[in-house]
Each structure stands twice: as structure tokens, then as C-alpha cells.
């Protein structure tokens, strides 16, 4: 009878050991699956990151091109404004010359009228 409990203990130990080993194996399998999922997720994120970096470079080039175009348009606008100012000055001068010419012609007509009246 003294050997029976020892066998029961040994049997209990083997059963518990087997259960613990099975649980440990299941946990290892789950951990391996998690590691695989994380590796796949990491690869996907790296690919997405590369795509986004390319998109950033493309957008930076677009920004640079737009800034250059903006500078060109600013210079063009400045030249157009300067040209408009010059044309406005020319129009003002022409308007003044027109008024002066009209005054001179009016004076000339008066002088001619006066001469004609004196002859009559």
C-alpha cells in the first residue's frame, strides 16, 4: 500500500505536467501566430510608409512648382500694373494736350472771327 500513493502522486504529477505542457504549447502557438501577424502588419505599414513618402515628395515638388509659378505671375502682374500706370499717364498727357489743343483752336477761331468782322 505504501507504493500506491507514490504512484498516485506520480500519476497526478504526470497528468498535471501533461496539462501544463499542453497549455504551454497552445500559448507558444498563439504567440507564434501573433508574431506572424505583427510581421505581416509591419510589412504592410512599411509599404504604406514608402507610398506616403513618395506622395510627400510629389506634393513637395508640386508646391515648389506652384511657388515658382506664383513668383512668375507676381512679376507678370507687376509688369502689367506698371504698364497700366504708364498708359494711364499717357492718357492723362493726351487728355491735357487735347484740352490745350482745343483751347488753342478756340482762340484761333476767335481770332479768325475777329479778323473777319474787322474786314466787314
For 49-78, the pLDDT digits (tens) are 999 999 999 999 999 999 999 999 999 999
What does the block give as the cell for 100?
490745350
Q: Can you give the pTM of this predicted structure? A: 0.53
Residue in the block written with cell 505536467: 17
100 pLDDT band (50/70/90 cuts)?
A: very high
How far apart are the C-alpha atoms of 41 and 35, rounded to whole Å?
10
Cell of 25: 504549447
Residue positions counted in the chain: 120
120: which 3 cell numbers?
466787314
Confidence of residue 13 (pLDDT cuts 50, 70, 90): low
Is pLDDT of 6 > 90? no
All cell numbers assigned to 33: 501566430
What secondary structure letter does DSSP report for 120?
-
* Cα–Cα distance for residue pair 77/66, rounded to 1 Å: 16
Looking at residue 4, its pLDDT comes to 46
Phi-psi region of 45 (alpha: psi -120 to 50; beta: other; left: phi over 0): alpha
Amino acid at each position: 500500500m505504501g507504493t500506491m500513493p507514490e504512484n498516485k502522486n506520480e500519476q497526478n504529477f504526470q497528468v498535471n505536467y501533461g496539462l501544463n505542457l499542453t497549455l504551454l504549447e497552445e500559448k507558444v502557438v498563439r504567440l507564434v501566430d501573433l508574431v506572424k501577424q505583427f510581421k505581416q502588419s509591419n510589412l504592410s505599414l512599411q509599404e504604406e510608409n514608402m507610398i506616403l513618402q513618395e506622395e510627400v515628395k510629389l506634393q513637395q515638388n508640386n508646391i515648389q512648382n506652384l511657388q515658382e509659378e506664383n513668383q512668375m505671375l507676381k512679376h507678370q502682374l507687376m509688369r502689367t500694373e506698371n504698364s497700366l500706370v504708364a498708359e494711364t499717364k499717357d492718357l492723362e498727357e493726351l487728355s491735357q494736350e487735347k484740352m490745350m489743343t482745343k483751347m488753342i483752336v478756340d482762340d484761333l477761331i476767335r481770332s479768325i472771327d475777329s479778323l473777319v468782322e474787322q474786314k466787314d
